[in-house]
Amino acid sequence: MARAGVVLQEDVQLKEGDFGELPDQTGQKKTVKSFTWTNKNKVSVQIITYGGYITSIKVPDKQGNVEDVVVGFNNLEGYLQPGNRYMGATVGRVANRIGGGKMTIEGVPYNLIINNGPNHLHGGIKGFDKVVWEHYVKGNQVILSYHSPNLEEGYPGDVLVNITFELTKNNEFFIDYKATTTNPTYVNLTNHSYFNLAGHNKGAAEIYKHVVSINADKITEVDRNSTPTGTLLPVADTVFDLRISKVLGDIIQKIPNSPGYDHNFCVTKGSEQGNTFVARVSHPGTGRTMEVYSNQPGVQFYTGNFLPEGDTLIGKGGFIKKHGAFCLETQIYPDAINHKNFGKSVLYPGEQYHHTVTFKFFS
């Protein structure tokens, strides 16, 4: 385990602390650690070892005023509550929905827990967002590790996951996911941070002012239960065409059969290998801008449609409400295990799942 203290490297300070305690299976208290990076541009990021949550990202505006731009909770208890909406969580073993909770791998059928209408969602009842990860500090990097045993939440294979997090002096926050398995299985990891670049507690009124662009010429069609149908739909001449920047408030109410965006966008990849530009979101009033780059083929754009409309979910800056934040979750196409045209989804022994994403901030 890493020792408590402060690491200085490349103009970035990394500090380790305690975020709270929870009992383990033997009834003993287990400490949840926090790691906070701060660079000389006054950008800071905090993660915790419980669920691999991003609990804070602070970014200055064009006047130098620093605000936290991710929605979340003040303490561990907030992240432990049922209905925390995966705010900042590391999501797995499989992010997004698996239609009917059913999949077949190498001719063997598997029935997974149904926890979202007719679907299996975000790894089940106890996904990766509900475990305490082991941690290791290497220079300016924090590596979180978790061993997911065979048939955990119904998934085959022992899977070892290592996730590397790092903030740079250039306001780039890197997440690098790697996984291996002992048996053919389905792996699709992501981070589920909810962003509001005006400030985490500024709500829907400011979200509607955000300007969004997404580098995608198709989406994966979904039915009324948000289950992918297997069809890829061109975005041209629709409200899903975000290749040219649009003000969110001008289009969010025009999504067919949905109270906002909750769709996988198929990222337009260039001929180059590695990370591709995925999305750019800016808040004109503050000047804060975030760009996303990834090696994944898809990104789920979600506008907090199912956050509560009333005063029922208390966050670190007041009540968290519908359309108060947005998510950009890089991923393999959802439910790819059940749609051959969605690309490779099965991880085999001897292979490595590798997913990289970078969030870059400007003001």
pLDDT tens digits along 108-162: 999 999 999 999 999 999 999 999 999 999 999 999 999 999 999 999 999 999 9
Does some domain include residue 103? no
Residues 231 and 179 in one domain: no
Residues 193 and 247 in one domain: yes
Does some domain include residue 102? no
329 catalytic residue (yes or no):
yes
Residues 198 and 221 in one domain: yes
Position 328 pLDDT exceeds 50: yes
Query: In a 3-state reduction of DSSP, which class is residue 153?
Result: helix
pLDDT-derived band at 179, boundaries 50, 70, 90: very high
Task: Provide mean pLDDT across the span 5-28.
Answer: 81
333 is in an annotated binding site: no
Which of these is catalytic: 135, 192, 200, 283? 192
- How many Å apart are CA 113 and CA 72, to the nearest integer? 26
Residues 166 and 229 in one domain: no
Among 134, 158, 183, the domain-final residue is: 183
Residues 160 and 197 in one domain: no
Task: Provide mean pLDDT across the span 200-223.
Answer: 97
Does some domain include residue 118? no
Report the candidate in 180, 247, 237, 172 with the shortest Cα–Cα distance to residue 212. Answer: 247
Among 183, 199, 215, the domain-final residue is: 183
Residue 317: the pLDDT is: 85
pLDDT tens digits, 21-66: 987 767 778 899 999 999 999 999 999 999 999 999 999 999 999 9
Among 183, 209, 230, the domain-final residue is: 183
348 is in an annotated binding site: no
Position 2 pLDDT exceeds 50: no
Residues 152 and 260 in one domain: no
Q: Which domain holds residue 348?
A: 188-358
- How many Å apart are CA 204 and CA 202, to the nearest integer? 7
Residues 77 and 49 in one domain: yes
Residue 269: the pLDDT is: 86
Residue 82: the pLDDT is: 86
Does some domain include residue 99? no
Query: In a 3-state reduction of DSSP, which class is residue 277?
Result: strand
* Overall pTM surpassing 0.85 (yes/no): yes
Position 1 pLDDT exceeds 60: no
93 is in an annotated binding site: no
Which of these is catalytic: 152, 206, 329, 339? 329
Query: In a 3-state reduction of DSSP, which class is residue 221?
Result: strand
pLDDT tens digits, 261-283: 999 999 998 756 679 999 999 99
Residues 179 and 192 in one domain: no
Residues 262 and 139 in one domain: no
Residues 179 and 326 in one domain: no
Q: Would you list the DSSP string of 83-150? A: T-TTTT-EE-SB-SEEGGGEEEETTEEEE----BTTBEETTSTT-GGGSBPEEEEETTEEEEEEEE-T
pLDDT tens digits, 215-265: 999 999 999 889 999 999 999 999 999 999 999 999 999 999 999 999 999
Residues 49 and 148 in one domain: yes
262 is in an annotated binding site: yes
Residue 96: the pLDDT is: 97
Does some domain include residue 97? no
Residue 7: the pLDDT is: 59
Does some domain include residue 104? no
Position 20 pLDDT exceeds 60: yes
339 is in an annotated binding site: no
Domain count of the fold of the chain: 2
Position 8 pLDDT exceeds 70: no
223 is in an annotated binding site: no
Position 164 pLDDT exceeds 70: yes
192 catalytic residue (yes or no):
yes
Residues 226 and 154 in one domain: no
* Mean of per-residue pLDDT scores for the chain: 95
